């Protein structure tokens, strides 16, 4: 039996932790935009870190459970109800067959994650269930499509009623200005010290031109002394500087090569904060060294039992 989609909302996709080891073939990682919310949603249910969830963008989602289950919803804040009764986010909750969940438009943030005990049962496509619309990969039907009305997402019944909630200090707040750490790129494919300084000393606005591929920012134009570089492999979080001088931060569905000069790369753990920044939000960037954030990332991934091999 399954979760029957009543209203898929603006954009709801199947996502697991991502599709790794295939970038040499031009295939992006994908995975959850807000990895922090995704990992906690699985953690609250005792799932493996890679268990498939539904990533709900901007709300407007509704569905009916056809089997008993235990769920959690983490991420963007909004009015989320079971049978018209508001539920608490960042907590595991038991639901019964026939219950209906509704996710209204979010009051802050862009992405929320619906996880279910045992994970949604979605067949892998190139080693992952992650949906990539641009590459037509993953999802329910291996075609990269978002969920549609009346579709069904399979899961296994769970009658065990338990409750866990996230410790308050790990629950993020969305909205307002965010400060993002980044590792400067002073190499021949990067930018000069003066360009990086100009980037880190100003405040940017998140534009409406954002999606799972990248976030375009707007501020005082920064012009690089580089005339361009030979296209090369680029990582998630790379900060590109196009000719118009307005930076682009590459996100989970990014292309795997690029030819714009790179100011640097966003610290991996800070991508979640940026992903939840709505158009009009203010963003600033603080340069850091690799060593200052590498041990933090290792500790974080170890807590969630994320396999290092999947990130190769």
User: Strands 203-210, 282-287: parallel, antiparallel or unpaired by DSSP?
Assistant: antiparallel
Could you read off the pLDDT of 210-219 as tens digits, one per residue? 999 999 999 9
State the Cα–Cα distance between residues 207 and 310, nearest whole angstrom: 32
Query: 219 exposed, middle or buried (CB, 10 Å; 0-12, 13-18, 19+)?
Result: middle
- Is 171 within 8 Å of 272 (Cβ atoms)? no
Spell out the residues 6+ positions from residue 276 whose beta carbon is closer than 8 angstroms to its own: 34, 75, 76, 108, 109, 110, 111, 172, 174
State the Cα–Cα distance between residues 98 and 96, nearest whole angstrom: 6
Q: Domain residue spans in the chain?
A: 2-170, 178-311
- Is 249 within 8 Å of 274 (Cβ atoms)? yes
The reported pLDDT for the residue numbered 311 is 53
The reported pLDDT for the residue numbered 223 is 87
Q: In the chain, what are the helix, strand and coil shares in percent, each to the nearest 5? A: 15, 35, 50
State the Cα–Cα distance between residues 247 and 60, nearest whole angstrom: 31
The reported pLDDT for the residue numbered 245 is 95
The reported pLDDT for the residue numbered 227 is 65
The reported pLDDT for the residue numbered 309 is 56
State the Cα–Cα distance between residues 215 and 274, nearest whole angstrom: 9
Length of the chain: 312
- 301 sits in which H/E element: helix 290-303
Identify the residue whose tokens are 């998140």. 206
Token duo for residue 19: 């599709």
The CATH H-level superfamily of 178-311 is Cyclophilin-like (2.40.100.10)
From the CA atom positions of the chain, what is the Rg in Å?
Answer: 20
pLDDT in tens, the chain (312 residues): 799 999 999 999 999 999 999 998 999 999 999 999 999 999 999 999 999 999 999 999 999 999 999 999 999 999 999 999 999 999 999 999 999 999 999 999 999 999 999 999 999 999 999 999 999 999 999 999 999 999 999 999 998 777 899 999 999 999 889 999 999 988 777 788 899 999 999 999 999 999 999 999 999 999 887 766 788 889 999 999 999 999 999 999 999 998 899 999 999 999 999 999 999 999 999 999 998 899 999 999 999 999 865 554
């Amino acid at each position: 039996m399954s979760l029957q989609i009543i209203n898929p909302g603006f954009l709801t996709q199947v996502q697991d932790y991502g599709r790794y080891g295939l970038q040499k073939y031009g295939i992006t990682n994908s995975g959850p935009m807000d990895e922090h919310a995704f990992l906690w949603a699985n953690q609250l249910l005792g799932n493996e870190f890679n268990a498939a969830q539904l990533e709900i963008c901007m709300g407007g989602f509704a569905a009916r459970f056809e089997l008993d289950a235990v769920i959690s919803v983490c991420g963007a804040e909004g009015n989320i109800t079971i049978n018209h009764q508001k539920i608490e986010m960042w907590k595991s909750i038991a639901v019964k067959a026939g219950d209906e969940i509704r996710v209204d438009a979010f009051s802050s943030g862009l992405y929320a994650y619906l996880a279910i005990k045992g994970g949604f049962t979605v067949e892998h496509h190139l080693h992952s269930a992650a949906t990539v619309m641009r590459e037509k990969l993953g999802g329910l039907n291996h075609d990269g499509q978002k969920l549609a009305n009346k579709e069904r997402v399979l899961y296994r019944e769970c009658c065990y009623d338990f409750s866990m909630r996230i410790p308050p200090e790990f629950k993020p707040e969305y909205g307002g200005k965010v400060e993002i750490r980044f590792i400067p790129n002073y190499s021949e494919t990067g930018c000069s010290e003066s360009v990086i300084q100009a980037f880190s000393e100003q405040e940017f606005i998140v534009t409406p031109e954002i999606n799972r591929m990248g976030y375009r920012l707007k501020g005082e134009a920064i012009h690089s002394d580089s005339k361009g570089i030979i296209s090369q492999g680029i990582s998630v979080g790379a900060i590109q500087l196009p000719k118009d001088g307005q930076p682009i931060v590459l996100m989970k569905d990014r292309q795997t090569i690029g030819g714009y000069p790179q100011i640097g790369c966003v610290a991996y753990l800070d991508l979640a904060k940026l992903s939840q920044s709505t158009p009009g939000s203010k963003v600033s960037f603080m340069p850091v060294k690799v060593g200052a954030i590498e041990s933090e990332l290792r500790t974080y991934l170890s807590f969630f039992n994320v396999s290092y091999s999947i990130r190769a």
